[in-house]
Amino acid sequence: MKVMKFGGGCLKNADGLNRVVNLIRSENNLPCVVVSAVAGVTDLLLRGLADVQKSQETVSRTVACCRDVHLKLLEQTVADDSLRPEAARALNVEIDKVERILTGIALTGEATVAVQNLVLSFGERLAARLVSAALGAGGVEARHFDADAIGLLTDDNLDNATADLKACRKSIGRKASVFRRDGLVPVITGFFGVTDRGRISLFGRNGSDYSAAVVAHAVGADELEIWKDVDGFMTADPKIIPQARKIDRLSYYEAAELSYFGAKILHPRTLEPLDGMKIAVRIKSLLDPSGPGTEICSEGCENEDVVKSVTADDEIAVLRIHGPGVGYKPGVIGRIGRRLSDRGVNIHAIITAQTCINLLLDKKDAHESYDALRGLDVGVMSRLDLEEDIMLIAVVGDGLLNRKGVAARIFSSISRAGVNVEMISTGASEAASYFIVRDSDGDKAIKALHREFFETSR
């Protein structure tokens, strides 16, 4: 079975939605479909959650915008007057639920994480109903399935959930045989799951990619296609490097490293559920469906020049813990980790020296982390420094750790560009080397690396 996941950019207008329908119709065997919210709808719901705590009057505006987006798309894609009213009713039922929940928040002035997650899940719930209606109008027997109803079970981490793969195999895998028996295309909501206590948990932005991988794992798919409104992974961000080229093939590890270090095309955890399954993954463009896209394969695929791509992340910060022997005294790093973990802070990397421990964190967590550690008594900490005006640059490619001369080329090209490297980490991964520069030097560093590995003949 093939799983096809469609991002919000694919559903942003009638043309995109019709393309999605035609792609699914062209499949010889019935696929499983996973959908994101229509482009802009999750942001609309996020704004609605923020506004409603200030004024109840904002509820009607949020709901009206949500209704307008989906009913307009329905009208443009379902021409059959006998099918449209039922589809419109299904959409309106969900939108009315959003209105009731937002009104409840406005009246109480409070919204738990679970309630906020429930509101945000309606972007995908509405998209699933819209896509299944458009498929029905196109002659494809389809039915929408919400992740919480179909049994996409997760742990209790509501903001950054992990699917319970064993439980999902039982619940979703069992239903997959019913899909095939009944000859229908299931349209499943992405982005969210449900805990065993019935609370909605989220996988984060781009989380529908992860959802699709969980579904592919659960149904024993042999192929996963992730459809976007872009061509695939690139050698660099085209906004910085207009001449960046599409990458034809990446390993699981290369794609994971690129996603983790800033390439927004794929959720960083997408490949976790597929580990050891040898499921073929391909990133495809809705605007060029016959194009090859980017293939992501389970085995390594080292190329002659090793480096596949250069990516960057400016939403990071470094928290430096200074003190004589701070990197040597047993238990210090453990206590730091526990203190931050208790506050839900993820540490991307730790680089230590005898007199300094450097923590690489998300910028959004930087000040909370600073405050949390300022009161930590470990006996050897003398000073905390927080640096936010920085950018992490990652050079990704299978074989980086073993190929002689690659590191020299990386840092020679950076040096020639007049960029100072403030911190380096290499060897932690066989497929990535990363370093930190000043934010103002970031684009310069990326351009220098792209010239060295992709624009200069050797």
pLDDT category at 437 given cuts 50, 70, 90 is very high
Residue linked to tokens 């799951």 = 193
Q: What is the pLDDT of residues 229-283, one digit of tens each?
A: 888 999 999 999 999 999 999 998 899 889 888 778 899 899 999 988 889 899 9
Specify if 184 maps to a domain.
yes
Specify if 195 maps to a domain.
yes
Q: How many CA atoms lie within 13 A of 394 on its CB side?
A: 26
Do residues 389 and 438 touch, judged by C-beta distance below 8 A?
yes
Specify if 166 maps to a domain.
yes
Tell me what pLDDT residue 427 has. Answer: 63
Specify if 256 maps to a domain.
no
Would the pLDDT of 113 be above 80? yes
Specify if 354 maps to a domain.
no
Do residues 20 and 227 touch, judged by C-beta distance below 8 A?
yes
Would the pLDDT of 458 be above 60? no
For residues 446 and 311, what is the distance between their CA atoms, to the nearest angstrom? 8
Residue linked to tokens 């009206």 = 64
Task: Assign 3-state DSSP to the chain and report helix, strand, coil percentages, each to 5.
Answer: 45, 20, 35
Specify if 242 maps to a domain.
no
For residues 353 and 161, what is the distance between their CA atoms, to the nearest angstrom? 33
Nearest C-alpha neighbor of 452 from the set 399, 403, 395, 404? 395
For residues 255 and 250, what is the distance between their CA atoms, to the nearest angstrom? 6
Residue linked to tokens 């999750």 = 42
Would the pLDDT of 101 be above 80? yes
* DSSP label of 418: T
Beta-carbon contacts of residue 1 (< 8 Å; ≥ 6 apart): 29, 30, 31, 32, 176, 180, 219, 220, 221, 222
Do residues 400 and 432 touch, judged by C-beta distance below 8 A?
yes
- Higher pLDDT: 57 or 212? It is 212
Specify if 54 maps to a domain.
yes
114-120: average pLDDT: 97
pLDDT category at 457 given cuts 50, 70, 90 is low
**Residue 317 CA to its chain's centroid (Å):** 20
Specify if 347 maps to a domain.
no
Q: What is the span of the domain harbouring residue 66?
A: 2-229
Tell me what pLDDT residue 343 has. Answer: 87
Would the pLDDT of 303 be above 90? no
15-43: average pLDDT: 95
Tell me what pLDDT residue 395 has. Answer: 93
Lookup: tokens for 81: 């007057």
Q: How far is CA 365 from CA 17, 59, 137, 209, 319, in A?
A: 37, 30, 47, 24, 10
Task: State the CB neighbour count (10 A cutoff) for residue 282.
Answer: 17
For residues 329 and 381, what is the distance between their CA atoms, to the nearest angstrom? 11
Strand partners, 5: 34, 226
Q: What is the pLDDT of residues 72-90, one digit of tens each?
A: 999 999 988 888 999 999 9
Q: How far is CA 161 from CA 150, 154, 156, 180, 202, in A?
A: 17, 6, 7, 29, 6
Would the pLDDT of 456 be above 80? no
Task: Tally the domains of the chain.
Answer: 1
Do residues 144 and 132 touch, judged by C-beta distance below 8 A?
yes
**Residue 62: CATH number of its domain:** 3.40.1160.10
Q: What is the pLDDT of residues 142-163, one digit of tens each?
A: 999 999 999 999 999 998 999 9
Query: Backbone dihedral region of 373: left (phi > 0), alpha (psi from -120 to 50 degrees) or beta?
Result: alpha
